[in-house]
Structures are given as structure tokens and as C-alpha cells.
Amino acid sequence: MLTAIIVAAGSSRRVGFDKLFEIIAGKPVIVHAIGAFENSKSVSDIVVIAREDRRGEIRKLVRNQNWKKVRAIESGGEHRQDSVRAGLSRLGENVQYVAVHDAARPLVTPEVIERVFQQSRTHGAAALADPITDTLKRANVDLGVSGAVDRDRLYAVQTPQIFERKLLEQAYRAVAEKKLPVTDEVSALELIGAKVMLVPNDDFNFKITYPRDLKLAEMVLQGRGPRG
């Protein structure tokens, strides 16, 4: 049994407005993200972690979309890891695997979710990732180039990230005990020495971070055509 935790509690400070409710390809960003998990055959339940002031709006979206898998809409915490922990507290007894996905990644597809889930069932933990193809440079405080970064076997880790429940809960206990900040679940798994398999991505799955990303996402979604 796979439950998805959709993290939608961010403040959108960098973009300057609530990007999750911006319309792309006829629907809010968050609808595209949740909809992929609703339509994924392996996902049994969805828990949405939202800002307190947006929970009512998300409930309305769930009703309007006639989604059946969203079982809870909870308030998030100050940091991302607090929000994921809130999602873990709402898991049903029979949940064996947990997917965590950023609501700001609206280009995820059910097919990608299934690919990552397959690897997590084999290895216990898996995450979608994009190979780095750009030339990378380190910079000093005044943005002068200070050195090169070897991009061989270097990946940008994305979501979804899918784990055996017991592994993810163990990892988050370690995060709490060591009082360390983590930016994603792979980082949490590293604290307990767990192996995480990367699933190379061959499609667009970027995070909406800046206004320009909305235009790019719109183009990608229109190019794909309708999705149920």
C-alpha cells in the first residue's frame, strides 16, 4: 500500500506570490501535481500538507476534481521536514511505502511515479533525478569563479521520492534526534546510512521557482495534450 504526501506548505517567497494556485494549462499548479498521484494505479491514499490559510481552498479543489484518494489535508510546519513529519503522522496502519512529492512540481506523471515506485519496492528507497549536463563552477562571495565542479555522476535530485515506511520513519527519528535541517528525504536517509537508488528522468519535472517557470510548464503541458 502506497500513500503519497504532497508538500504544499511553502511560502513562495522567491516567486513573490502563491505559485501553487497559479493557472497553467487550465488548472492550478497544485491540481496538476496531486492529479498525477490520483491517477497513479499504485497510490492508495494521498495526504496533502498545506498552509493553514489554504486548507479550505484545497478542500474545494478536491471536491471540484472529484478526487477519491485524498484522505487528509493537514497544516504544515515551519520547515519542509516539519511538514513531511506531519504527513507521516497521518499514515494508515497498513501503509508500507510512502511517496513524498513537492506540489510545486506539476509536470510529474503517473508513469514516472510507477517507475520510481518499482525501484523503491526493489531497493527500499528511490528518487527521481536529472543528470547534470551544464558546466558547473564554484564562486566566491563576489561571484568570481573560484573553481570547477566535476559533473561526472552528478545528479539533481527531484521528487517523487519513495521509501519503505519503516526506513523513512527511522530517518526522520534520526533527523529529530540530531536536530539537523534536511531539504529532502534522501538527505534524511543518508543520516542512517540507507541506500537510495536514483531513477534517471527523461522528461520535464522542474520545480516552479520563478515566474518564468510557469510559462515553461504551460508549454510542456500543452505539448503533452489532455491528461485525466
Q: Give tens-digit pLDDT for 165-184.
A: 999 999 999 999 999 999 99
CA distance 83 to 41: 25
Q: Would the CA dihedral through 67, 69, 74, 80 be positive or negative?
A: negative
Q: What is the pLDDT of residue 10?
A: 80
Q: Which parts of the chain register pLDDT below 50?
A: 228
Task: Give pLDDT tens digits for 12-41.
Answer: 655 566 899 999 999 999 999 999 999 999
State the chain's maximal CA–CA distance in angstroms.
53
- How far apart are alpha carbons 98 and 109 in whole angstroms? 17
Number of helices followed by number of strands (H, E) in the chain: 7, 11
* pTM of structure: 0.94
Helix (H) or strand (E) holding 213: helix 211-224
**Domains of the chain with bracketed CATH:** 2-224 (3.90.550.10)
> Residue 187: enclosing H or E segment and its boundaries?
helix 185-191
Between strands 43-50 and 70-75, the pairing is parallel
pLDDT of residue 191: 95
Please list the helix, strand and coil fractions of the chain in percent, rounded to the nearest 5, in that order: 35, 25, 35
- Per-residue pLDDT, 14: 56
Residue 226 pLDDT: 67
